[in-house]
Structure formats: structure tokens, C-alpha cells
Structure 1
Amino acid sequence: MKLTIEQTDLAAAVGYAARSLPARPPVPVLAGILLDAQHERLRVSAFDYEVSADTAVPATVTENGRALISGRLLSDIVSTVRGTVSLELHGPRMLLKAGSARFTLATLPLEEYPALPDPGATVGTLAGPAFAEAVAQVACAVSKDQALPVLTGIGLRHDKKAGTLTLYTTDRYRFAVRTLAWKDADLPDCTAVIPAGALQDASKASADDTTIDLALPTANSGLLTVRGAHHTSTIRALEGELPKYETLFPTEFEHEATVEIAALKAAVQRVALVSTKKEAPIRLTFGGDGTLVLEGGTSVDAQAVDNVTTTLEGGELSIAFNPSFLIDGLNALGTQSVQFQFTSPTKPAVLRGHDSDDQALRYCLMPVRLTG
């Protein structure tokens, strides 16, 4: 193998593939990135049996060939060199040159590297920016508890009749749901749960693509494929199912309030400063006089009170939330104002962007019961 390639192209390709490398590879070859030089392009791939990343960039190829290189080391090197990069394979060694820099890298055994998975047939097409936005929005409610792996994933639900793909997440304290319309989704209704981190990486890589193709997991493969203009990722689905969000979201409300998000976030952050614990709740009292009062702290420690302007339909309501969870939802909405929908102070509240449609993000947040 012998080729030259622009550093920016190589760094982008290697960086994309390196995100799929396992932190603790079960076997040494899975720490490698596969370089395949063929016909004026360099294909860069990584695979660990759970996630694969595959991309191709233009290159001036003098000799076709393949090599497996330590991914982390290669990523570090190509991110620091500049200009045109030369790669040349000499037996078990790869010579990398860029400007005055010269590196001799050991290769890993190609014969031990697993074949990349079949990406599967496309079942639907989405706008790349919309898919990346939806994944980022619902990721706010993904659980960090590795003891329950299914809660660390993002649920995907295809509704054939509606022609929609719904993304949803929960950590048992909140639920985030976002729906997208998609084209050519000719398959039966189905659901799958995809590891959140891998799906975020895949969606970000194709966020600038006009359209992306998806292949949902099947009983045979169990793989989700995200295919953009230049990148293809496969991700193995998690076992199990997330709770059914349809039964958890209230449908009738006694109170509705609208608040400007920037002002509310700033007030929540100020009031939360007096709490000795990050998860200590703050109380929100929506008044009929157009004022939302925020209170935090305890009588034995520091206390704080702040207020912002609100519009309220229904009677006065006082409810408490975990401030971090509340801010996560406000950040994810991506709108200027938030609409709160309440049934009672002890039942889940729904947050959504003011004047948003039914397919926009809905964030269901459990209140915290206060004592005293």
C-alpha cells in the first residue's frame, strides 16, 4: 500500500472511525483501524462486534493495499501533523510522513480482524440535520446507570400508518419523546433500543447530509444502519424494551403556564446554588399574578428566592423539581419559551416548546415530593 492524502481528509476519517473503538478491546486487533487503499480513495473502518464505522476519502493511491493500525495512536498522530500525508506499507511496518515528521508504525494482523457487518437494506430516509437534532434532544433523558443497560439506549419506534419514526428515552425520572416524518419507510411497525452514545456519534457524523438512510434492526441482524453521504455506521441493538411512553404522558391538564426559557434557566441556576446536594429540589410556585416564584435551600442551611414572569391558565400551582433535570429539559427544547402542562403537584408535568406541534420534543418530568 502506498498513497498520499490531505491531512484534513485523513484526520476527519480516522477521527470518525476512532469514536467506534472500544475502551477496553477484548482482543488486540479490535483496537485497530483498517485502512484500505483502492482506486483513488482510502477507506477507513473500525469494528468491535457491537458498533462499526466506515467512511471513504479521496487519496492519490500509487499501490493498492490494506493495513490494520492501532487506532488511538493513528488518531493522535494525524490530528497533529499538517499538510500532505504519505502512507507506505513496508512488510509489517507502516511509514507515515508529513512535512518534517516521520513515524514508523507497527501493523496488527489483518487475518485476525473480523469482517465488517452487512449494513442491511435501506428501509427509510430522513433529513440528516433533523435526525441529529432529534437524537441530541432525547439524549437528555438517557440513564447513566449501567446496571440497567436498556435505559442507556434510545428507543426507535416505526409507525407505518403514520409514516413516522419516534425516538424516546427515559431514566425512570423523566421521559423525552421526539417524532420525525420519514420517507419510503415500507416495513411493518417495529421498535428497537439503540445504545445512546453510538447513535449520537453516528447522527453527528451525518448531521450535515441532506438525507440519510436507515436500516432498522431485524430478527436476523439485530443491527441499526445509519448511512450518510460519506459515512456508514452499524450499531447492535440492546436487548429488552423501554417503558411504553404513551401510557406515561398525561393527556388532560388542569394548569398550563408559559415561561421564557433563558430567564427561567438563569433563575433555576441561581436558586440551586444554595443547595448542599446537586439533586436537592427547588420549588416552583406559579401565581395568578403572572409571577413564577422559585425557592431553594432549607431553614437550617442557606435559602434562596427568585422570580420570573409567566402566563398561567388554571389556578395557582406549587410543584418541585430536580433542578438539573429541569435544566436538561429546557436546554433540549431549543425554543425561546417553554410551555408547562400540569395535572397536579404530585403527577408528571409535560414540558414542550411554546406553540410547537405534536412531533416536537415532549419532556415528561416527575415532580419531587417535599416534606414540611
Structure 2
Amino acid sequence: MKATLERTDLLKSLTHVHRVVERRNTIPILSNVLLRAQGGDIQLKATDLDLEIVETVPAMVDVPGATTVPAHMFYDIVRKLPDGSQVVLETTSDEATLEIRAGRSRFTLQMLPESDFPDLTAGDFSHGFSLTAGDIRKLIDTTQFAISTEETRYYLNGIYLHTVDTPGGTKFRAVATDGHRLAQAEVPAPNGAQGMPGIIVPRKTVGELQKLLENPDSEVKIELSETKFRITTGPVILTSKLIDGTFPDYGRVIPKANDKEMRVDRDEFKEAVDRVSTISSERGRAVKLSLAEGRMVLTVNNPDSGSATEEVAVEYAADAMDIGFNSRYLLDIANQLSSDTALFRLADSGSPTLIQDNTVDDCLFVLMPMRV
């Protein structure tokens, strides 16, 4: 194999691809990136057996061929090469090493045969449709913070994507929950999504998608089945296994009868929570919200360090009540709201609270209270 390509193109592609490769691997081939040169480009592929990323880079191919080299080492070499340089990749005659040349720099990397490299992409996809990268980013960014990290409840370790029929038409919805909070966002369902199986996209795949979807206006092709999920954006194809489990009936935890409404300036509320939580303990993080007509007092008490209070003007006309929340969870939700005013729908100090944008209704958040 021998090919020449721009260092900038190669580095951008390796940045996407090498992140999939785990730093420590018991299977040597999984530490490598597959390079396949043919026609007028080089294809780079990496996998951890659950997730696979393939990207195509334009190149001048003198001798077609394929090989695999250590992904992180290859990425570090290319990252340190001079900007704007031409990179030549050439396998040695004994097929044992890959030579990398750029200007006066020379590197050789040990290779493993291409035939050992696993392929994740086998199988048919039952549904396919397109969305803009901006819509997918919205679904992911709004819900990702609520993904559970508790391995025993593995079916919560991802974002649940499915379609639902609503009075406003069919929606493509994303939901994530960790049992303490729930986040839901939706966009109009694209043609081809109707009747799709509900799928749970794993946390690692979600993180990679966030980094790949750079241009919000670009069209992204999505294909899925009950076990696999594939997304194509520009020259990048990401294929992932899905979490094999049943997502809980989340509709049961979204409160329907919370009759106390409180409206507060989002930024003012965020800053006040951030200030008073400075005093909270790393373990507790509890902040008490004392609501009365027209005002809210935020209080944090930490027996080890002291206390903090701050008063914020709110629109609230119901009975006075005290309710406690995890301050970090409150900030996570406030950061996802897009309108200037946050709407809280409350029932009592022991029941879940519904939080929404005051003017936009395509996302909602549910937060369980804490004892304070």
C-alpha cells in the first residue's frame, strides 16, 4: 500500500475515529485503526465491538492495499506533524510495518493484518430516514445529562428514541432518566420514522454523535433495526449496537396534576442556585426553595461550613411551600431551557416537579425532590 494525503484531512478523520478505540485492550487488533487505500481515497475504520466509525479521506493512491496500525500512536504522530504537510503512508516490503513520511520526519509502526479486523456492519436495517444535524443535536443535548451511570440498571444507560402520536402530529422523541430526573425532547417525525421500533442508544455512542454533528444544517441519514443503529453524516458512518433492554414506561412518572405554577427568570434563578450551592457539601448538594407569593428564598445549610440564603422575585400565587432539590440537577435542567423564563409546576414537597420552558413546549423535565 502507498498513498499520499493532506495532513489536515488525515488529522480531522483520525480525531473522529481514534476516540472509539479503548486505551486498554485485551484483544490487540481492537487497539488498531484499519486503513484501506483504493481509488482516490483512504478509508479509516475503528471499533470497540459495540461501536464502529468509518471515515473516508481523499488521497492519491499509488498502490492500493489495506493494513492496521495502533490508533492512538498513529493519531499522536499525525497531530505532531507540521501543519500543511503532505503525509505519505507506505507499507514495507515485508508487510510488517507501515512507514509514515512528512517532510524530514520518518516513522514506522508495527502492523497487524487487515484480515483480523472485525466488521460490525453486517445485518439489515428495517427503517431509514433523514434529519438535520441540528435536530439530532437538540434531542441529544437536551436529554444527555439525565442518562444513568448506574450499570445495574443498564437499560437506563442511554437515550430512548421512538415515535409518538400527539395532537400536533407524529413526533420523534428522545427520553433519558436516571430515576432522580427525567428529560424529554421531541422534533417532528421525518418520513420513514413511523412504525420504527423504540431503541436505546448507548451513552458512548451519544457522546461520539455530539462530536460528529458539527454543521447544524447538514442532512444526516439514520438507519436502524431492533439491534443496530447507523448514522451517516458527510464522509463519516457511525454504526452502533443498541442496548438490549426495555425502557420503562416513563409516561407514568410525568406529573399530570401539578396545580401550583411558579415562573422565574431563568438566568437569575441559575445564578442564585449556583451562588448558594457554593456552601453545600459535595455529598449533599441540597438546596431548599421556600415559595411564597411573589418571592422564593433559596437556602443551603452545611453543618461543616455554614449556610447561605438568597431571595429571588418570582410569579407565584399558590399556597406557601418548601421543597428541596439537588442543586446540580437544578443547574443541569436550567442550562437546557431555551426561553428567558422557566416554568415550574409543583404539587407538594414530596412529589415530582415538572419544569418547562415558559414559551416552548417541545421539551420537559421531571425532577424528584430531596428531604431538606
TM-score, normalized by length of structure 1?
0.92
Q: Secondary structure at the match of 2:152?
A: coil
Partner residue of 2:88 out of 63, 86, 89: 86
Q: Kindly indicate whether the alpha-carbon contact (under 8 Å) linking 2:120 and 2:239 is maintained by their aligned counterparts in 1.
A: no
How far is the alpha carbon of 1:158 from its aligned partner?
A: 2.5
State the alpha-carbon separation in 2 of the partners of residues 6 and 313 from structure 1.
64
How far is the alpha carbon of 1:119 from its aligned partner?
A: 7.2
1:191 corresponds to: 198
Q: Closer, same or farther in 2 for the Cα pair 1:19/1:128, shift >3 Å?
A: same
2:223 corresponds to: 215
1:146-183 deviation per Cα after TM superposition (whole angstroms, max 9, x unaligned)? 23222211111123784322111111100111112232
- What residue ranges of structure 1 are gaps of 5+ in the alignment? none
State the alpha-carbon separation in 2 of the partners of residues 302 and 36 from structure 1.
62
How far is the alpha carbon of 1:96 from its aligned partner?
A: 0.8
Indicate whether 1:117 and 2:121 are aligned.
Answer: yes
Which stretch has the larger CA shift, 127-136 or 276-285? Answer: 276-285
Indicate whether 1:367 and 2:351 are aligned.
Answer: no
Q: Secondary structure at the match of 1:5?
A: strand
State the alpha-carbon separation in 1 of the partners of residues 33 and 305 from structure 2.
54
CA RMSD of aligned residues (A): 2.0
Q: Secondary structure at the match of 2:245?
A: coil
Query: Which AA in structure 2 matches 1:30?
Result: L
Query: Which AA in structure 1 matches 2:263?
Result: T
2:292 corresponds to: 287
Q: Closer, same or farther in 2 for the Cα pair 1:334/1:31, shift >3 Å?
A: farther
Partner residue of 1:271 out of 259, 273, 276: 276
The size of the alignment, in residue pairs, is: 364
1:61 corresponds to: 61
1:57-115 deviation per Cα after TM superposition (whole angstroms, max 9, x unaligned)? 11122221111011111111112212221111112211112233221111112221113
Within 5 A, what are the aligned runs for 1:102-181? 102-118=106-122, 120-121=124-125, 123-159=128-164, 162-181=169-188
Q: Closer, same or farther in 2 for the Cα pair 1:302/1:236, shift >3 Å?
A: same
Partner residue of 1:248 out of 253, 278, 299: 253
State the alpha-carbon separation in 2 of the partners of residues 313 and 226 from structure 1.
48
How far is the alpha carbon of 1:188 from its aligned partner?
A: 2.1
1:328 corresponds to: 332
1:337 corresponds to: 341
Q: Secondary structure at the match of 1:123?
A: strand
State the alpha-carbon separation in 1 of the partners of residues 15 and 88 from structure 2.
18
Q: Closer, same or farther in 2 for the Cα pair 1:147/1:291, shift >3 Å?
A: same
Which stretch has the larger CA shift, 30-39 or 200-209? Answer: 200-209
Query: Which AA in structure 2 matches 1:369?
Result: R
1:43 corresponds to: 43
- What residue ranges of structure 2 are gaps of 5+ in the alignment? none
How far is the alpha carbon of 1:313 from its aligned partner?
A: 4.4
Query: Which AA in structure 1 matches 2:242?
Result: A
Q: Kindly indicate whether the alpha-carbon contact (under 8 Å) linking 1:153 and 1:195 is maintained by their aligned counterparts in 2.
A: yes
How far is the alpha carbon of 1:127 from its aligned partner?
A: 1.1
Within 5 A, what are the aligned runs for 1:290-305? 290-298=294-302, 301-305=305-309
Query: Which AA in structure 1 matches 2:335?
Result: N
How far is the alpha carbon of 1:298 from its aligned partner?
A: 4.5
How far is the alpha carbon of 1:189 from its aligned partner?
A: 4.6
2:314 corresponds to: 310
Identity %: 24
Q: Secondary structure at the match of 2:285?
A: coil
1:167-214 deviation per Cα after TM superposition (whole angstroms, max 9, x unaligned)? 111111001111122322255252121212212312431341521111
State the alpha-carbon separation in 2 of the partners of residues 344 and 160 from structure 1.
31
State the alpha-carbon separation in 2 of the partners of residues 333 and 102 from structure 1.
51
Q: Closer, same or farther in 2 for the Cα pair 1:353/1:319, shift >3 Å?
A: same
Which stretch has the larger CA shift, 191-200 or 306-315? Answer: 306-315
Query: Which AA in structure 1 matches 2:240?
Result: I
State the alpha-carbon separation in 2 of the partners of residues 335 and 13 from structure 1.
36
Q: Secondary structure at the match of 2:198?
A: strand
State the alpha-carbon separation in 1 of the partners of residues 74 and 158 from structure 2.
30
Partner residue of 1:206 out of 204, 209, 213: 213
Q: Closer, same or farther in 2 for the Cα pair 1:160/1:123, shift >3 Å?
A: farther
TM-score, normalized by length of structure 2?
0.92
